[in-house]
Structure 1
Amino acid sequence: MSKAKSILCGLVVLGALFAGSVATALECRDVANAGQTFTVCEVDATREDIRLFLTDPESGTPLASFRNVEAALVRDGKRLSFGMNAGMYHTDRSPVGLYVEDGQESARLVTSAGPGNFGLLPNGVFCVRQGRADVIETLRFDREAPECRDATQSGPMLVIDGALHPRFLPDSDSRYIRNGVGTSDDGSRVVFAISQGRVTFHEFGILFRDVLNTPQALYFDGNISRLYAPGIGRHDGGFPMGPIVGVVENAD
């Protein structure tokens, strides 16, 4: 091989490695399991800026949509490269459980059982800190009191320390389009998933435990589940949302 060809091949390899490194910081793909298909977006929390959004900082009104989040970010020279609804909310868009945004707590942690999926204990908290993000079971979160820059509480937990939620039934007939998030033990790997069809809690938990290999995973919501992933041409509309999780990048 000539010297020129050798240099060219080296540049191609380096370019491929660099492109692969960038892709792994935020990558969305379809994953099939047991006859169901899911859209999965994996984020490297050590390299990406993961944030939560609820209200417009200028008007104080609920953002409620990916489009409004994008418009708010543009004012600061930023853009939204990924977004997903991130927890249950009341009719006025206020969070049902703990909500922290940029260090400011606007709703308190709920530790008691209650009606609906949120109260199906154990539930949990998605906690974003510098260089990491974690799903933490609520009572553990209450004991350890980690300092989260951003946090949203939801439920039920899908996977707790590698085990499925004890109330999930393999033969359940409760099926919805569902979305949630799982994290690695070191908090570096964050995996968001939304089903393309109607799935049970058991099927959704199996995805996070056995396919995505996340030892902790949390259910965000069902039926109103939404995804914003411009890299794969997806921008879901529909019902106005409460808390929204997103990955933020510079606009240029």
Structure 2
Amino acid sequence: MIREVLLSTFLAAIPVAGQACETVEFDNAPFTFCEIDLSETELRLFLRDRQGAILGTFARVEAALGEGERLGVAMNAGMFHEDRSPVGLYIEDGEQEMRIVTSDGPGNFGLLPNGVLCLNDHEADVIESRRFAENPPECQYATQSGPMLVIDGDLHPRFLASGTSLNIRNGVGISADGERLFLAISDEPVNFHHFGRFFRDYLETPNALYFDGRVSRLHAPGIGRSDLGFPVGPIIGVVMDDTVDGAEPAE
């Protein structure tokens, strides 16, 4: 169960098809997170349509789904270049579009250690990038981003409680038992240390990965939220049956 510390719940949704979202306060800042039961959901990554054009928005992802399918919880899922192609490793439906990048470099992506989210049927893992590269697992879907927020229970070593870089931030973490995936976004600007602690101390995820800042987006039909903004790169989303109650269309 999620630890009830430094917490007050603002908004909670009734779970729909293995997914439920809440807005909470943690250490004087609001966060929205969605808990996804991996045993009950189909989770995919999305980048391009059948013609090769970048999708980039929740509405276009939903429009690209098959008949009878609807987009559930979704979020932008990794950093991207100006043409919105992935910066690091990207695998979709078993096909690799971009190789893994293990060198350090400028920006948040190059703030090593960074990591990879690896998805397979009803299971997921967040793996440090160099460890991933040394012994690559099979991933039906994978996206690389950075930095890691939580690494085997510890915050990224470069994070400072006094850090002055504040942004709206989003990321992903996996529960210790590997059965639940958490997508979270800060609802006001926070630093990396604060955001990492949300995953480590509140969501209690031993490993968590930063997706992005400033361009962070969340689609959460169960709480009536679908963030707008200019198009992004990779998107992670739950694919659900169109007949399921609470499956409002993406905006």
Q: Structure 2-normalised TM-score?
A: 0.89
- Rounded to whole Å, the distance in 1 between the matches of 2:117 and 2:198 is 18
What is the rounded CA distance, in whole Å, between the counterparts of 2:170 and 2:224 in structure 1? 18
Q: Distance in 2 between matches of 1:183 and 1:161?
A: 11
In structure 2, the residue matched to 1:224 is 215
Please, what is the CA RMSD of the aligned residues? Answer: 1.4
AA matched with 2:28: G
Could you tell me which residue of structure 1 aligns to residue 22 of structure 2?
Answer: 29
Alignment-mate amino acid for residue 203 of structure 1: H
CA deviation digits over 1:158-209, x for unaligned, max 9? 0000000000011011000000000023421101100000000000000000
Instruction: Give the alignment of 1:4-43 within 5 angstroms.
Output: 23=16, 25-43=18-36
Question: Distance in 2 between the 1:41 and 1:22 partners?
Answer: 10
What are the Cα deviations for residues 67-115 of structure 1, in whole angstroms up to 9, with x where unaligned? 0001111x43211011100000011110000000000000000011011
Q: Does structure 2 retain, via aligned residues, the 8 Å contact 1:134–1:184?
A: no
Distance, in Å, in 2 between the alignment partners of 1:89 and 1:239 is 13
Equivalent residue number for residue 191 of structure 1: 182
CA contact (8 A) 1:126 1:133 kept: yes
Taking the aligned partners of 1:44 and 1:250, their CA distance within structure 2 comes to 16
1:109 aligned to which of 100, 106, 112: 100
- Matched residue, 2:41: 48
Q: Does the aligned pair in 2 maintain the 1:54–1:244 contact within 8 Å? A: yes
Normalised TM-score (structure 1): 0.89
**By how many angstroms is 1:32 displaced?**
1.1
Q: Distance in 2 between matches of 1:82 and 1:56?
A: 19
* Structure (1/2) with the larger helix percentage: 1
Query: Does 2:198 correspond to 1:213?
Result: no
Tell me, which stretches of 5 or more residues in structure 2 are unaligned? 1-12, 244-251
Q: How many residues align?
A: 231
SS at match of 1:198: coil
Where 1:100 maps in the other structure, the secondary structure is strand
The one-letter code of the counterpart of 2:22 is R
For residues 121-132 of structure 1, the aligned pairs below 5 Å read 121-132=112-123
CA pair 21-35 structure 1, distance change in 2 beyond 3 A: closer
Is the aligned partner of 1:202 residue 2:193?
A: yes
Map 1:58-69; keep pairs closer than 5 Å: 59-69=51-61
Identity, in percent, stands at 58
Alpha carbons 1:24, 1:42 under 8 Å: kept? no
Structure 1: gaps spanning 5 or more residues: 1-19
